[in-house]
Amino acid sequence: MNRHARLDTSPIPFIDVAAQRRRLGGAIDEAVARVMAHCQFIQGPEVRALETELAAYCGARHVIACASGTDALLLVLMAWEIGPGDAVICPSFTFCATAEMVALLRATPIMADVQVDTFNLDPDSLQRAVATAKRLGLKPKAVIPVDLFGLPADHDAIAAVAAEHGLFVLDDAAQAFGAAYRGKKLGALGAAAITSFFPAKPLGCYGDGGAVFTDDDALAARIKSLRVHGEGVDKYDAVGIGITGRLDSIQAAVLLEKLKIFPEEIVARDRAAARYSDGLAGVATVPRVGNESSSVWAQYTIRLAPGRRDGLAAALKAQGIPTAIYYRKPLHRQRAYCSFPVVDGGAPVSERLAEEVISLPMHAYLDPPVQDRIIAAVRGTLAN
C-alpha cells in the first residue's frame, strides 16, 4: 500500500466549539428556553446569578456583566475618568481592544514592550513608559497588563511599578479568565480586571459578552450606572453619560451552564498543552509557565526560527491542520495605532515575536490521537 494513501489529512478544527456544544447541548437549550419563557431578556435573573457565580469562582467582591470585553474595558476607564492628557500604558503585543478604548476616550495609549518568554508586559518597559509619558507632558494614570494567550502577566512586579507612580492597574484578562497567579484567580488582581466571553475565549458564550471584576465598592457602583446610560437611583434621572453595556439574559444562561464544566475544561486544556510541549520541545520554542502561575491556554503558541513560519503553516494546511498568527503586527505597527507614542527605546521584543509566533489548534476536546497527528506534522516539517 502507498504510504501517502494512509496519511490522514481530514480537517481538524482550530477551536472545536461544536464538541462542547455536543456535550452540553441539552442543558444549554433548556437554559435558553427558560429565558424565552420568562421573557426578561435584559437584566433577567440569570445575569445576577452569573455575576454571583463568577464572583465566587474568582474571589472578586463585585462582578459586573457586560456586553463585551471591550465594553468592560471602556466602562472601567470611563469610571476612572480617563481622558485627554492622560497616558495609559499598554503592551504593544496584544489584541487592539486593549489600547482602543484608551484612544476612544481621547487619552494616549503608550506602547510598552513585552517579555520574550511570556509574551506579557515587561515591568522594566512599564517603568520606562512612565518616564516616556512624563517626557511627553502626559499624566501617567493607568496601566493595562494583558494576560496574553491565557498566561498571567508578572503581576507583582507590575503592581510595584504601578504603586511607585500611583497608576491604576486594569488587568485585561480577556483571554485568561480561570488562570491563577500566586494562588489568586485572575479577576481578583489589580484595582479592576476584565474578561471577555467571545465564543473563542476559554469561557465563551454564544455571542458577545464580558465582565468587570473589582473589590472597590464605589467603582462597582459607578460602572453599574455607566453600564445603563449613567442611570441614577431613578432610571429616568441620569447622573452620568454612559453606554448600553449590559450582558443579555440568554448569554448569561449559556454561561451559567458552561461554568459548571469550566474547571474540568481547564484541566483538559492544561493536559493538551503539556502533550504539545512534550512533543515539540526539541523543534520549536514552547511556552513557559512559571511556578507562580497557571495558564488557561487560550492559545498554544510556539516560536520558530525566523523564516520558518510560512512554510510550517502551508505544510500543516495541506494536512488539514489549521494554524493562526496572533499577532502578525504589534499595535505600534498597525495603521490605527502607529501614531501613538512607543516607550523610549522601542518595543523590539514585540516586533520580534510578531515574526516568530504561530498558534496550534487548542481546546478542551483535543483528543490525543488528533494531537499526535498535529505534533507529527509539525516535527516532520521542522526537521527538514
Ligand X SMILES: *Cc1c(COP(=O)(O)O)cnc(C)c1O
C-beta nearest to ligand X: residue: 69
Which of 208, 248, 265, 356 forms a contact with ligand X (CB under 6 A)?
208
Q: Which residue in 28, 97, 121, 304 binds ligand X (CB under 6 A)?
A: 97
In whole angstroms, what is the distance from residue 91 CA to residue 95 CA? 10
Considering the rule CB under 6 A, would residue 172 count as an interface residue with ligand X?
A: yes
Q: Which stretch binds ligand X (CB under 6 A): 83-91, 93-101, 104-112, 315-323?
A: 93-101
User: Whole-angstrom Cα distance, residue 142 to residue 124?
Assistant: 16
CB 47 within 8 A of CB 65: yes
Q: Which is nearer to ligand X, 90 or 316 (CB)?
A: 90
By C-beta, is 168 or 283 nearer to ligand X?
A: 168
Nearer to ligand X (CB atom), residue 196 or residue 214: 196
Q: Give yes or no for a cis peptide into 326 (omega within 30° of 0).
A: no
Q: Contact 231/239 with Cβ under 8 angstroms? A: yes
**Residue placing its CB nearer to ligand X in the complex, 207 or 320:** 207
Site for ligand X (CB under 6 A): which residue of 210, 287, 330, 361? 210
Q: Say whether residue 248 binds ligand X (CB under 6 A).
A: no
d(CA 374, CA 129): 40
* Residue 89 C-beta: closest distance to ligand X, Å: 15
Name the DSSP class of 228: B
Q: Which of 198, 213, 297, 300 binds ligand X (CB under 6 A)?
A: 198
> According to CB under 6 A, which one of 79, 174, 220, 266 is a site residue for ligand X?
174
180 beta partners = 185, 294
Give, for 269, the enclosing helix (H) or strand (E). Answer: helix 249-280
Kindly give, in sequence order, each residue whose CB lies less than 8 Å from that of residue 179, ignoring residues fewer than 6 positions away.
147, 150, 151, 152, 173, 185, 186, 293, 294, 295, 296
Q: Does 175 bind ligand X (CB under 6 A)?
A: yes
> Where does 126-183 show beta strands of DSSP type E?
139-143, 168-172, 180-181
Residue with cell 517626557: 135
| Range in contact with ligand X (rule: CB under 6 A) among 8-16, 95-103, 106-114, 260-268 | 95-103
Given a contact cutoff of 8 angstroms between Cβ atoms, the answer to whether 243 and 224 are in contact is: no
User: Kind and range of the H or E element at 86?
Assistant: strand 86-91
Q: What angle do CA 338, 303, 126 make, to 5 degrees?
A: 45
Q: What is the smallest separation between the CB atom of 131 and ligand X, expressed in angstroms?
A: 25
The smaller minimum CB distance to ligand X, of residues 70 and 319, is found at 70
The yes or no reply on residue 70 touching ligand X (CB under 6 A) is yes
Shorter beta-carbon distance to ligand X: residue 209 or 361: 209
| 302, burial (CB in 10 Å: exposed 0-12, middle 13-18, buried 19+) | buried
Longest dimension (CA), the chain: 78
- Residue 146, interface with ligand X (CB under 6 A)? yes
CB of 193 to ligand X, least distance (A): 11
Point out which span in 23-31, 65-73, 234-242, 283-291 binds ligand X (CB under 6 A): 65-73
Beta bridge partners of 122: none
149 vs 289: CA distance, rounded Å: 11
Instruction: Report if residue 120 touches ligand X, rule: CB under 6 A.
Output: no
What does the buried/exposed string (b/e) look like for 33-44 if buried means 16 or more CB atoms within 10 Å of the residue's CB? Answer: eebeeeeeeebb
Pairwise CA distance, residues 296 & 128, whole Å: 30
Whichever of 96 and 157 has its CB closer to ligand X, that residue is 96
| 196 scored as a contact of ligand X (CB under 6 A) | yes
If one asks whether residue 92 binds ligand X (CB under 6 A), the answer comes out as no
Size of the site for ligand X (CB under 6 A): 15
CB of 282 to ligand X, least distance (A): 30
| Residue listed under C-alpha cell 431578556 | 41
Stretch that binds ligand X, among 43-51, 63-71, 224-232, 373-381 (CB under 6 A): 63-71
Q: Which stretch binds ligand X (CB under 6 A): 90-98, 255-263, 267-275, 313-321?
A: 90-98
Least Å distance, CB 164 to ligand X, is 25
Question: Which positions touch ligand X (CB under 6 A)?
Answer: 68-70, 94-95, 97-98, 146, 172, 174-175, 196, 198, 208, 210
